[in-house]
Chain A
Amino acid sequence: MSMQRLHPRSASQAREILIGVVIAALILAALSATPLLPWHLLDPIRAYFYERPLLNNLAKAVLLVSFMAVQCLFLIWMERKFAGWLQARLGPMHVGWKGVLQTFADAIKLLLKEDIIPALADKPMFRLAPYLVFVPAMLTLMVLPFSPNLVGFDYHLGALFALSISTTGALGILAAGWGANNKYSVLGGMRAVAQLLSYEIPMILIVLCVVTLKNTMSLTQIVERQAGLWNIVAHPLLMIPGALIFFSCALAEVYRAPFDLPEAESELVSGFHTEYSGMRFAIFYIAEFANNVFTAGFAAILFFGGWHGPVLPPIAWFTLKTLLLIFLMMWVRWTLPRLRIDQMMSFCWKLLVPASLILFCLTALSVVW
């Protein structure tokens, strides 16, 4: 077999994969070198912020929001490229190398677009809704420990706090659906909330399993107690099904296919954000990706040892695990078709809830013995 018999397309694909691997290796090498950098030069700045708690918290908040906005730019590009790859097309190609800058162009377009509010909309609610979705999404990131030092607020009830804040995001979606005064939006909003509240129950039960095993509700402590042995390795019989249930619930919580019924394009014309345009739509989008990052990071913390890992610095491990889980979510999204609403509900109430209850009982038994 000579190389000439290969289709030219596959040869170029092999080259692209090679380039990707080289770039990834370079990034990882750069990251593993970060502990050698002269960080102590920053000490005066650090001391300045540590002495002023209010300013420190403000700086943390600004960093978190801007981190999320940048991450969002990257993730959207990644998702579109990956979708293109799975569907045997190219995805964005024109702005920048392989379309890397496409999302920047889109962001500028969204900023410059006219902000349209439907004439018969419930205006205060229509205006308020994006923020009701955005603020909880950002608040959940606040308690997520990115590394031993990099955590917005090391709350001792972190796991419970994150879950409770992420539930309140449902209100924003309900407000968006109702405020737009559009039947598809209302349907989308109601579906979203019903789905969120249903899948919250098995999700909380699985988090409760981890909390029972690790005997703490602080996310930092949960990670620290997995030093050397990740949860999924330490308790495979409990945590592998647990991680699977958690992953299904996470998909439903962030409204990704096969659970994307709230924004089902073919039935509801993208559901609760049908009527939104310009920057308000972008805020919904950023919140959606922030929720993705949060659920993936949460799963990494609960099951895959958070920042623990050899050689690379903690932040690199956490980011790597989170990105891999987001990648998995995208893979599922672009592979599976959408469920019907009754299938979605019965999957949760007849399968996930009993399974997670049984799992919780087993966890309790294993802790007692």
Chain B
Amino acid sequence: MNTLPVQIAFYSLAALTLISAAYVVRARSIIHAGFWLLPCFVGVAGLFATLQAHFFFVAQLLIYAGAILVLILFALMLTRDAMSLHVPLKSHLGIWAGLISAGLGISASLVLARQSWSVTTAHPAGPARQAEALGEALIGLYAVPFEVASLLLLSALIGAVVLAKVERAPAPEPPPLADTLPEPEETRKEPVGVE
């Protein structure tokens, strides 16, 4: 396995992910910000591919780049100021947000650097076996957490329906259509002298 091309791919995909993530934050229009998520998700999928996690690569494309991004864009398009290109980018909470992100970043880097990661040269299971092994793990060893997670998603689904369902007053009777109106008097004359 030659590592240089893989490393080049890894760093360029990481750069793609980070740069597009920065554009998501900096874009002047929220719709553009939504579309900048696409290279971000594709970059993450590519990172999975360079790590030979093929199933995650495809799942990331299918679920994030395909479904979730579309839902996000739908929600954005239905918001009030979606058309405006001048959403203010300044926020009075900027300092706090910066502090919290910096704290998180520093602590995460410290943990990453201090931890002694177990490094192995053994390859993961063969690519064709991976999806199979994952499936077996999900219905075998991790069956209970898997089912609990799906139960959580189901309750979220039902909750969303309940929240969105508004009891409306019954719609008013629609005005009668033109051809159901009683005809005006003068047009209802009997034809005279036609015999």
Contact = CB atoms under 8 A, between A and B. Distances in A.
Contacts of B54: 156-157
Contacts of A164: 58-59, 61-62, 65-66
6 contacts: A156-B54, A157-B55, A160-B58, A164-B59, A167-B65, A168-B66
Interface size classification for chain A: 20 to 34
A192 B32 CA distance: 20
A125 interface: yes
Given A122-B31, A125-B31, A125-B35, A161 B58 contact: yes
A165 to B, nearest CB: 7
A124 B38 CA distance: 15
Interface string B30-72: 0110010010000000000000001100110110011101100
A125 B67 contact: no
B127 A171 contact: no
Interface in B77-136: 77, 127-128, 131
A193 B34 CA distance: 15
Contacts of A161: 58, 61
A68 interface: no
B70 A197 contact: yes
Interface string A173-197: 0110010000000100010010001
A175 B73 CA distance: 10
A128 B32 CA distance: 12
A165 B35 contact: no
Interface of A: 122, 124-125, 128, 132, 156-157, 160-161, 163-165, 167-168, 170-171, 174-175, 178, 186, 190, 193, 197, 217-218
Contacts of A217: 131
A168 B58 contact: no
B195 to A, nearest CB: 44
A178 B58 contact: no
Given A122-B29, A125-B31, 13 more contacts: A128-B35, A132-B38, A160-B59, A167-B65, A168-B65, A171-B70, A171-B73, A178-B77, A186-B77, A190-B74, A193-B70, A197-B67, A217-B131
Interface of B is mostly: helix
Given A125-B31, A178-B77, A171 B62 contact: no
B32 A124 contact: yes
A217 B129 CA distance: 11
Interface string B117-158: 000000000011001000000000000000000000000000
Contacts, number: 59
A124 B128 CA distance: 40
A165 B58 CA distance: 9
The winner among B58, B77, B128 for most chain A CB atoms within 10 A is B58
A156 B128 contact: yes
Contacts of B38: 132, 168, 171
A190 B131 CA distance: 34
A197 B73 CA distance: 13
Contacts of B74: 190, 193
Contacts of A132: 38
Interface in B1-41: 29, 31-32, 35, 38
Contacts of A160: 58-59, 62
Nearest to B69: A171
A167 B67 contact: yes
Contact of A167 (B31, B35, B66, B73): B66
Nearest to B37: A171
B66 A178 contact: no
Given A125-B31, A125-B35, A197-B67, A167 B62 contact: yes
Contacts of A186: 77
Nearest to A216: B128
A125 B31 CA distance: 10
A364 to B, nearest CB: 12
